[in-house]
Amino acid sequence: MADLRFYQGLGPITITEVAALSGAAISDSAMGAMTLSDVAPLEAAEAGKLSYAESPKALNAHAAGALDGVFLIVPPDLAGVAGAMGALILTHRAPRQAFSRIGSHLFSLRGFDGTERRHPEADCHPSARIAPGAVIAAGASIGEGVSIGPNAAIGPGCRIGRFTSIGANVSISCADIGEHCNILAGAVIGEAGFGVAVSGGSVIDVPHLGTVRLGDNVTVGANSAIDRGVFGETRIGDGCKIDNLCHIAHNVSLDAACLMPAFAGVSGSTRIGRGVMFGGRVGVSDHVVIGDGARIGANSAVMADVPAGETYAGAPAQPIRQHMREIAEIRRMVRARAKARTGE
């Protein structure tokens, strides 16, 4: 369920409407009058909610009967398998795209309303310091000793913990921010990430219905961006330090005390363990797991899991000793060729 502090429910809608909006086909006409008002990822699917699966692998973790009552969009060749698990089937050749067309008809992002910069339904502690031009939306909660800079925007339902500092021109939406955090100028927390569904030459945005949660004592550098989850949270653990101009995508999880220098980028659904240290301009692929205490050298491209405690470097990243041996071998080969050309 989308967090109703940040989203407004628009449902329910009938399965006939779902089919018309998504282009999916209903496997049983008796389903047409049934209604739904929520969506979920397949791993959290429940009866009465809409989900999707694109491949047999996505269904392998579910036993017979595990999807009883779940409305499920699948490719036509998976209809029988999903039906045997108890799902109520809609079929479409591109289930992710069909599913993505439904989210905006079930939920809308709560926006800024009214004419006052500080909405009367915002809860601001008397000790909070709010600079000129800052906007605080309905339902926001601003804790003791918080400082909010000029032209910052705190969206509906957001919570800012005690003694946190929000810099000028910061934008925060769909987010729960801990205590003693430092959010520097121009940072954007809680916007939708880069999620798209591609099929047949058409591209549509995947709705992001999740949130961002920052722990305590977190620093987010100037002009950095942390995207909200597609479902659930993008999570930044206690004591993480994120430098300027970094990007953390939807549903990423950073455990406590991670260090991320400038220009780092982490793709969606990656899991980063406790105390991981990045060098500058590291790029991390999606759905990667980086173990506790790992270190990633500057300019590295992490394309696969990194074990706990290891140091990786290079593009693609690999154990540092192997990376250095390969560099040394390349240099040896270059020197040998240079000598051969000059006859030395």
The model's pLDDT over 110-133, given as tens digits with 9 standing for 90+, comes to: 999 877 899 999 999 999 999 999
> What is the domain-level CATH number for residue 50?
3.40.1390.10
CA dist., res. 148 & res. 169, Å (int): 9
Closest CA to 39 of 29, 25, 52: 52
- What pLDDT does 303 receive? 97
| Cβ atoms of residues 157 and 5 within 8 Å | yes
The three-class DSSP label of residue 340 is: helix
- What pLDDT does 63 receive? 61
Do 157 and 286 fall into the same domain?
yes
**pLDDT band at residue 265 under the 50/70/90 scheme:** very high
Q: What is the mean pLDDT of residues 259-269?
A: 97
- What pLDDT does 313 receive? 97
The model's pLDDT over 128-174, given as tens digits with 9 standing for 90+, comes to: 999 999 999 999 999 999 999 999 999 999 999 999 999 999 999 99
Closest CA to 102 of 139, 135, 142, 73: 73
> What is the domain-level CATH number for residue 152?
2.160.10.10
Do 211 and 300 fall into the same domain?
yes
Do 207 and 83 fall into the same domain?
no
Q: Residue 199 above 90 pLDDT?
A: no
Structure tokens at 11: 């449902």
Do 234 and 103 fall into the same domain?
no
Q: Residue 200 above 90 pLDDT?
A: no
The DSSP result for 131-185, as a single string, is -TT-EE-TT-EE-TT-EE-TT-EE-TT-EE-TT-EE-TT-EE-SEEE-TT-EE-T
C-alpha distances out from residue 141 to 191, 200, 266, 337, Å: 19, 45, 29, 67
Q: Residue 201 above 80 pLDDT?
A: no
Do 104 and 208 fall into the same domain?
no
Do 127 and 103 fall into the same domain?
no
Do 104 and 127 fall into the same domain?
no
Do 311 and 201 fall into the same domain?
yes
| Cα 225–chain centre separation | 11
Q: What is the mean pLDDT of residues 23-48?
A: 92
- What pLDDT does 140 receive? 97
Chain position carrying tokens 């039906």: 83
Name the β-bridge partners of 159.
141, 176
| Cβ atoms of residues 145 and 182 within 8 Å | no
| Cβ atoms of residues 324 and 305 within 8 Å | no
Do 89 and 160 fall into the same domain?
no
**pLDDT band at residue 343 under the 50/70/90 scheme:** low
Closest CA to 213 of 258, 181, 245: 181
Q: Residue 344 above 70 pLDDT?
A: no
Do 287 and 212 fall into the same domain?
yes
Supply the range of the domain harboring residue 39. 7-109
Q: What is the mean pLDDT of residues 312-336?
A: 93
Domain total for the chain?
2
Do 60 and 97 fall into the same domain?
yes
| Cβ atoms of residues 44 and 231 within 8 Å | yes
**pLDDT band at residue 258 under the 50/70/90 scheme:** very high
At 100, the amino acid letter reads: S
Q: Which of 276-280, 289-293, 306-310, 339-343 has the lowest mean pLDDT?
A: 339-343
Is 327 part of any domain? no
The DSSP result for 38-60, as a single string, is -B--GGG--TT-EEE--SHHHHT
Is 328 part of any domain? no
Chain position carrying tokens 């990633």: 296
Is 67 part of any domain? yes
Is 344 part of any domain? no
**pLDDT band at residue 62 under the 50/70/90 scheme:** low
Is 249 part of any domain? yes
Is 281 part of any domain? yes
Closest CA to 5 of 216, 159, 134, 232: 159
Q: Residue 192 above 70 pLDDT?
A: yes
State the catalytic residues: 250
